[in-house]
Amino acid sequence: MDVHVTRSTLRGTARAPPSKSYTHRALLAAGYSDGATVESPLVSADTRATARAVGAFGGSVAPADDGAAAADGADPDLADADALAVEGFGGRPAVPDDVIDCANSGTTMRLVTAAAALADGTTVLTGDGSLRSRPQGPLLDALGDLGVRAESTRSNGRAPLVVAGPLAGGEVAIPGDVSSQYVTALLMAGAVTDEGVEVDLTTPLKSAPYVDITLELLADFGVEATPVDGTGDPLDGAAGAAGFAVPGGQTYAPSDGTYAVPGDFSSISYLLGAGAVAAAPGESLRIEGARPSAQGDAAIVDIVERMGAPVEWDREAGEIAVERAALSGVTVDVGDTPDLLPTIAALGAVADGETRIENCEHVRYKETDRVSAMAEELEAMGAATTEEPDVLTIHGSESDLRGATVDGRGDHRIVMALSIAALDAEGTTTVRGAEHVDVSFPGFFDAMADLGMDVERDEAGE
């Protein structure tokens, strides 16, 4: 699907979708349990992949109000469900009857790879072409060091993967600067091993807030996991950790059998950016569902304020109000918040001065190389950029955004970020592959149209 976005003025209120990161973890945590209800989940292409994996391991996921469980890896009709009833596999996943297809979801593949290591037998995991190009080697190596057969069928550290357990636990070393999801996967699986798992980081941890999300969710499910410093002393959070310890023999069981997913700050970033770029003069664009959590991407509130837009965040009510403003460039380190790079780059193309996005090399290993993708597509719209291995600079004062045809690169975040830039471009911008917003924000273009975005959808993509 292509969308055609024309410069627009926005007003009104939008609600943030539930968090994709929390939903992935909650579905799998509920799978590790004897059963739980996940309230306010994000039902998207990616989270459906995790739901299918829970089914493949012998559990099931279905809308909580109809009681029709889908097992054996089936893809249940979860659309529009306010809550999902998960029948768990009690910490002991069964050997799947078929290959687990993780589609385009890197989070699913990494978390489920570690879960597969618990099964007493062999699991095969694969995904689409994009996912099969993404690195899994460090996690495979870690599982191998823990006594599990964990291999890439092409011997390149990429899917398809073959995993054969069972995993008993132990101590393992893993780099912290490739993907925090490796740590999350080991902690979630380690809690139900016999011996527990100790993870030693061989390089500093990037994207630490995503591990904080994991630690927060594990605690909500009654599971203990502790970040430690270089001497083994406990820390309050993942930042600066030298490793992590999770005792074995634990049971996943949320309070009252339910877990509620918070709003997604990665998705809020597009709504917040849209308001800063295109809100009606003198009016605030309001965003609901923004209650505080461990999400590092809440940093977007401060970033937009630093760029000059008035922002008010009522944390208790979970509501953000943002006004349009003349934006100025800033310097941002995205080492802990890689998913914000597309949004920041789009805002930088609208702002005056330079926006310098640092510590971003790991952002090249997402659904696409998001550093190059944003540089190239913004340049097609008239922006001036400089790309270095670990830095992306947007020269806003040298940029003059105009309508163009740009490629979303099969990446939901690129599609949404380019659509935000299009709000300020002269003329009409065509964004190809816009259907990929279904990965994390299925109703994005509906929400933007309700706010006043001039957007036309071309389902044929012509």
The encoded tokens of residue 180 equal: 């925090």
CA distance 270 to 205: 26
CA distance 127 to 125: 7
CA distance 46 to 20: 8
State the greatest distance between any 2 C-alpha atoms of the chain, in Å, as a whole number.
62
Residues written for the chain = 462
The encoded tokens of residue 233 equal: 């002393």
The encoded tokens of residue 66 equal: 């109809």
Closest to 281 measured CA to CA, from 5, 6, 11: 11
Q: Where are the alpha helices (DSSP H) in 174-235?
A: 180-190, 208-220
DSSP state of 435: G
CA distance 188 to 215: 9
Distance, first Cα to last Cα, the chain: 8
8 Å CB contact between 324 and 275: yes
The kind and range of the H/E element at 150 are strand 149-152
Closest to 434 measured CA to CA, from 63, 2, 145: 2
Cα distances (Å, whole numbers) of residue 364 to 81, 352, 359, 399, 403: 33, 26, 11, 23, 26
CA atoms within 13 A on the CB side of 151: 7
CA distance 375 to 389: 12
The catalytic residue among 212, 264, 336, 339 is: 339
Contacts of residue 112, Cβ cutoff 8 Å, sequence gap at least 6? 28, 50, 53, 100, 102, 125
The encoded tokens of residue 330 equal: 């800033």
CA atoms within 13 A on the CB side of 297: 26
CA distance 127 to 430: 28
Active-site residue, 128 included: no
8 Å CB contact between 173 and 197: no
CA distance 231 to 234: 9
**Annotated binding site for phosphoenolpyruvate: which residue ranges?**
20, 106, 134, 181, 370, 413
8 Å CB contact between 462 and 35: no
The kind and range of the H/E element at 172 are strand 170-174
Q: Give me the active site residues, please.
A: 339
